[in-house]
Amino acid sequence: MKYLILMQVDPAVLESLSAEDSQAIGEGHQSFIEQTTASGEMLSTHALGDPSQTTTIRGTGGKPEVIDGPFAETKEFMGGYYLIDVESKERALELAQLIPDAGIRGLALEIRPVMFSAGANM
Amino acid sequence: MTRAGASDDLLRALAPQVLAALLRRYGASQFDLCEDAVQEALLAAHEQWPGRGHPDDPAAWLITTARRRLIDRIRSEKRRRDREATQASLAHPLEQHAAGAIDDSVQLLRLCCHPALSPPAQVALTLRAVGGLTTAQIAHAYLLPEATVAQRITRAKARIREAGAAFPAPTDAEDRITPVLTVLYLMFNEGHTATAGPAVHDVELSGEAIRLARMVCADLPGHGEASGLLALMLLTDARRPARTTGHGALIPLDEQDRSLWNRATIHEGVAILERTLPGRHPSPYLLQASIAALHDEASSTAETDWPQILILYKLLEQETGNPVVTLNRAVAESMVHGPAAGLAIVDGLFDRGLPADPHRVLAVRAHLLEQIGEREAAVDAYRSASRATASLPERDYLLARARKLTAG
């Protein structure tokens, strides 16, 4: 079963982290990637640019509107994701809790099942 | 890399024999190296045979080629002390065709379904080592990146080595076949329902599961559950042509065009049951196959022998205690005693807490509510079920049912 682990980040929380914490997070992600790659559960991961770099194309029913900035005005944004393939939802939750974000107040991980896959490297 | 054409079937049939020959000689402790060597030999055959023609003895050619690759590999891995003993034994000639082709394949199946491996790892390894599929083909069948599947296979092979597995496995009891049947059942179901993704079935995986189940049955002709599983697969697969529209949308059993069902496959499945059932304990695969046969032999839902199906589901429920079986019994109950009787069983399932796959329970509940005439509750249940499923065709089907009720 494929699951997408969405990393919900609050840029203010990330900015307030100490240099050590910040480095520990980077290393935590690296070790998570190594572990899930070795177990054959990792499919892919991507980290996204700052929300301020977002452009939104909004459907209007006619000519779409092109707006600078994100679709929804929220504090938290999707900062990146892990796409994994695991035996069960329980395993997906277990893995998600190994991601360093799970240990930081103000950050969150959302786990959603995947319904459809296509592309060169699914 | 894909292999196509007539030699593909031959190569895949020979793959387990070649691997078995190497394993008998060098032991299951060299499983990973032996398996890699066989894959390289298959690739070499695929590249060379079309130009030069098949060798006189294709199996011997493959074994010789695989053995050479194995020797190359072992020599380049001198650093591993535990392989030095193997290197010393390389000088001796290899016994060929010591066991029958079918026996080889079933022994390999047992090894690939080693309890140290997780079920997905067992399936992936079986498809490669016994099915003769390439990593790319397996990755394609499961819509996974090739690197992920390759890593799983590498890890599975290492686990088998670490677990100290023997080849052939000790022939202590026939129940060693149980995990093999489970793996084939998983493989078939994955091909038949494709839990995620756009296509409802994938011919490759269910066809492969049937091919391997035939081998197991040929090796163990008196085995009730092996025969039951093969019959179940055939009797289910026979409905494949009627199961979806040209666009891949699901068609439920009661709306399928039964003239599209594959009669020859149904006859084969029924014949297996008629040979196997008399005087035998009704075990789970035999019971499920018997139910599938009753559906396959009926000319319509109304003509189906539902009282008999209900009895079989009750037996199956006693055997397995599985809530999915209870759900199916609810459907049979509704056909025999009316939708309210079925609904009572479904609601009983909810009272016991939601099962692992709530979308099926919700979908059955929606159908029963619709039959009773509880239109609004049925629409709600169809929509809830559509949100709970991870299959696109199923979601589209459930939403279409809800739309039909709101439109009428």
DSSP-assigned states of every residue in B6-17: HHHHHHHHHHHH
pLDDT at B172: 56
A119 within some domain: no
- Tally of structural domains, chain A: 1
What is the C-alpha separation between A68 and A103, in angstroms, rounded? 32
Q: How much is the ipTM here?
A: 0.80
Residue A5 pairs in a beta bridge with A82, A111
pLDDT at B133: 84
Closest-CA distance, A93 to chain B, in angstroms, reads: 15
Each residue's pLDDT tens digit, B272-328: 999 999 999 999 999 999 999 999 999 999 999 999 999 999 999 999 988 889 999
Each residue's pLDDT tens digit, A30-54: 999 999 999 999 999 999 988 889 9
- Chain B hits for A39, CB-CB cut-off 8 Å, are 151, 155
Pick from B135, B144, B148 the residue to mutate for testing the A interface (most A CBs within 10 Å): B148
- Chain A hits for B128, CB-CB cut-off 8 Å, are none
Is residue B256 within 8 Å of residue B299, measured between CB atoms?
no
Q: How far apart are the first and last CA of chain A?
A: 13
Cis before B241 (ω within 30): no
Q: What is the CATH number of the domain that holds A42?
A: 3.30.70.1060
pLDDT at B350: 83
CB contact under 8 Å between A113 and B145, yes or no, is: no
A54 within some domain: yes
Each residue's pLDDT tens digit, B150-205: 999 999 999 988 888 888 776 654 556 888 999 999 889 877 655 444 454 444 78
Name which of A38, A87, A115 is nearest B390 (Cβ-Cβ).
Answer: A115
Distances (CA, A) of B345 to A23, B327, B337: 55, 8, 12
Q: Positive or negative CA dihedral for B95, B98, B101, B106? A: negative
If one compares B1 and B217, the residue with the highest pLDDT of the two is B217
pLDDT at A85: 94
Residue A44 pairs in a beta bridge with A83
pLDDT at B318: 95
Q: Taking the model in full, what pTM does it have?
A: 0.81
Q: Which residue ranges in chain A fall short of pLDDT 50?
A: none
Each residue's pLDDT tens digit, B71-113: 888 887 765 655 555 655 555 555 544 446 667 888 889 889 9
pLDDT at B202: 45
pLDDT at B79: 56
Each residue's pLDDT tens digit, B15-67: 998 999 999 888 888 898 999 999 999 999 988 988 888 899 999 999 999 99
| Closest-approach residue (CA) in chain A for B390 | A115
- Chain B hits for A4, CB-CB cut-off 8 Å, are none
As a whole number, mean pLDDT of residues B213-237 equals 93
Each residue's pLDDT tens digit, B108-131: 898 899 888 988 889 899 989 988
Closest-CA distance, A43 to chain B, in angstroms, reads: 6
Q: What is the extent of the structural domain holding A77? A: 2-113
| Closest-approach residue (CA) in chain B for A41 | B148
- Chain B hits for A42, CB-CB cut-off 8 Å, are 148
pLDDT at B235 over 80: yes
CB contact under 8 Å between A113 and B390, yes or no, is: yes
Residue ranges of the domains in chain B? 322-408
Closest-CA distance, B150 to chain A, in angstroms, reads: 8
- Chain A hits for B143, CB-CB cut-off 8 Å, are 117, 122
Pick from A86, A112, A117 the residue to mutate for testing the B interface (most B CBs within 10 Å): A117
Q: May I ask the CATH architecture of the domain B322-408?
A: Alpha Horseshoe (1.25)
